[in-house]
Protein backbone atom coordinates (compact mmCIF):
# COMPACT_ATOMS: atom_id res chain seq x y z
CA UNK A 1 0.00 0.00 0.00
CA UNK A 2 1.13 3.49 -0.75
CA UNK A 3 1.24 6.39 1.68
CA UNK A 4 -1.76 7.95 -0.04
CA UNK A 5 -3.82 4.81 0.45
CA UNK A 6 -2.88 4.64 4.14
CA UNK A 7 -3.86 8.28 4.64
CA UNK A 8 -7.18 7.69 2.90
CA UNK A 9 -7.78 4.55 4.94
CA UNK A 10 -7.04 6.22 8.30
CA UNK A 11 -7.64 9.93 7.63
CA UNK A 12 -11.17 10.03 6.21
CA UNK A 13 -12.80 7.96 9.00
CA UNK A 14 -10.98 10.10 11.57
CA UNK A 15 -12.22 13.32 9.99
CA UNK A 16 -15.77 11.95 9.84
CA UNK A 17 -15.72 10.87 13.49
CA UNK A 18 -14.32 14.25 14.64
CA UNK A 19 -16.95 16.17 12.65
CA UNK A 20 -19.69 13.85 13.91
CA UNK A 21 -18.56 14.41 17.50
CA UNK A 22 -18.59 18.17 16.99
CA UNK A 23 -22.09 18.06 15.49
CA UNK A 24 -23.39 15.97 18.39
CA UNK A 25 -21.80 18.33 20.94
CA UNK A 26 -23.38 21.35 19.21
CA UNK A 27 -26.77 19.63 19.10
CA UNK A 28 -26.62 18.92 22.85
CA UNK A 29 -25.70 22.53 23.55
CA UNK A 30 -28.55 23.85 21.40
CA UNK A 31 -30.98 21.50 23.15
CA UNK A 32 -29.81 22.75 26.56
CA UNK A 33 -30.23 26.38 25.48
CA UNK A 34 -33.77 25.65 24.23
CA UNK A 35 -34.67 23.95 27.51
CA UNK A 36 -33.28 26.89 29.48
CA UNK A 37 -35.18 29.47 27.46
CA UNK A 38 -38.37 27.43 27.78
CA UNK A 39 -37.90 27.28 31.57
CA UNK A 40 -37.42 31.07 31.71
CA UNK A 41 -40.51 31.67 29.59
CA UNK A 42 -42.54 29.32 31.79
CA UNK A 43 -41.38 31.19 34.90
CA UNK A 44 -42.28 34.53 33.32
CA UNK A 45 -45.71 33.24 32.35
CA UNK A 46 -46.36 31.96 35.88
CA UNK A 47 -45.30 35.26 37.44
CA UNK A 48 -47.39 37.27 35.00
CA UNK A 49 -50.48 35.12 35.39
CA UNK A 50 -50.29 35.30 39.19
CA UNK A 51 -49.81 39.07 39.13
CA UNK A 52 -52.70 39.77 36.75
CA UNK A 53 -54.96 37.25 38.50
CA UNK A 54 -54.41 39.01 41.85
CA UNK A 55 -54.94 42.41 40.26
CA UNK A 56 -58.08 41.21 38.54
CA UNK A 57 -57.55 42.86 35.16
CA UNK A 58 -55.00 43.24 32.37
CA UNK A 59 -54.50 46.04 29.86
CA UNK A 60 -54.22 45.49 26.12
CA UNK A 61 -50.41 45.78 26.17
CA UNK A 62 -50.21 43.24 29.00
CA UNK A 63 -52.35 40.82 27.04
CA UNK A 64 -50.29 41.26 23.87
CA UNK A 65 -47.05 40.73 25.78
CA UNK A 66 -48.28 37.61 27.57
CA UNK A 67 -49.70 36.23 24.32
CA UNK A 68 -46.31 36.66 22.64
CA UNK A 69 -44.47 34.98 25.53
CA UNK A 70 -47.00 32.12 25.48
CA UNK A 71 -46.61 31.60 21.72
CA UNK A 72 -42.81 31.45 22.02
CA UNK A 73 -43.13 29.03 24.93
CA UNK A 74 -45.38 26.77 22.84
CA UNK A 75 -43.05 26.97 19.82
CA UNK A 76 -40.21 25.68 22.02
CA UNK A 77 -42.29 22.63 22.89
CA UNK A 78 -44.10 23.88 25.98
CA UNK A 79 -46.65 21.46 27.34
CA UNK A 80 -50.35 21.89 28.04
CA UNK A 81 -49.98 22.86 31.71
CA UNK A 82 -49.63 26.53 30.77
CA UNK A 83 -52.51 26.30 28.30
CA UNK A 84 -55.08 26.19 31.12
CA UNK A 85 -53.52 29.20 32.81
CA UNK A 86 -53.45 31.01 29.48
CA UNK A 87 -57.18 30.40 28.98
CA UNK A 88 -57.92 31.83 32.42
CA UNK A 89 -55.70 34.85 31.69
CA UNK A 90 -57.55 35.55 28.44
CA UNK A 91 -60.84 35.72 30.36
CA UNK A 92 -59.61 38.52 32.65
CA UNK A 93 -61.38 41.83 32.03
CA UNK A 94 -59.62 44.90 30.74
CA UNK A 95 -58.93 47.88 33.00
CA UNK A 96 -61.87 49.90 31.69
CA UNK A 97 -64.25 46.94 31.99
CA UNK A 98 -63.10 46.36 35.55
CA UNK A 99 -63.58 50.01 36.53
CA UNK A 100 -67.06 50.14 34.91
CA UNK A 101 -68.11 47.01 36.78
CA UNK A 102 -66.84 48.34 40.12
CA UNK A 103 -68.51 51.76 39.79
CA UNK A 104 -71.79 50.24 38.54
CA UNK A 105 -71.94 47.82 41.47
CA UNK A 106 -71.38 50.65 43.95
CA UNK A 107 -68.00 49.35 45.04
CA UNK A 108 -65.14 51.70 45.71
CA UNK A 109 -63.36 52.98 42.67
CA UNK A 110 -59.88 51.82 41.79
CA UNK A 111 -57.09 53.33 43.89
CA UNK A 112 -55.33 56.35 42.40
CA UNK A 113 -52.21 55.91 40.35
CA UNK A 114 -48.92 55.90 42.33
CA UNK A 115 -47.86 59.23 40.79
CA UNK A 116 -51.03 60.91 42.11
CA UNK A 117 -50.47 59.58 45.62
CA UNK A 118 -46.86 60.71 45.50
CA UNK A 119 -47.83 64.25 44.45
CA UNK A 120 -50.48 64.53 47.18
CA UNK A 121 -47.98 63.33 49.79
CA UNK A 122 -45.43 65.91 48.66
CA UNK A 123 -48.03 68.70 48.91
CA UNK A 124 -49.07 67.71 52.42
CA UNK A 125 -45.46 67.44 53.57
CA UNK A 126 -44.67 70.91 52.20
CA UNK A 127 -47.70 72.36 54.07
CA UNK A 128 -46.87 70.85 57.48
CA UNK A 129 -45.91 74.23 58.87
CA UNK A 130 -49.48 75.41 58.36
CA UNK A 131 -48.47 78.13 55.95
CA UNK A 132 -49.44 78.09 52.34
CA UNK A 133 -46.80 78.80 49.79
Q: How far apart are CA 67 and CA 63, in angstroms?
A: 6
Q: In sequence order, which residues have a C-beta less than 8 Å from that of residue 37 and are 6 or more positions away?
A: 76
Give how far the C-alpha of residue 17 lies from the chain's centroid of Cα atoms, to the nearest Å: 40
pLDDT in tens, 51-63: 999 988 889 899 9
Distance set, CA 114 to CA 1, 35, 100, 117, 131 (Å)? 85, 38, 20, 5, 26
pLDDT in tens, 79-105: 788 988 999 898 888 887 777 766 665
Cut 0.85: pTM above it: no
Which 3 state secondary structure label does DSSP give 129?
coil
Amino acid sequence: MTTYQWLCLLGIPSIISVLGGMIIAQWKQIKAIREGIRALLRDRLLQGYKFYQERGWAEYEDRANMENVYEQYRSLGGNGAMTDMHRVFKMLPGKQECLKTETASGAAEAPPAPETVKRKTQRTESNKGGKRK
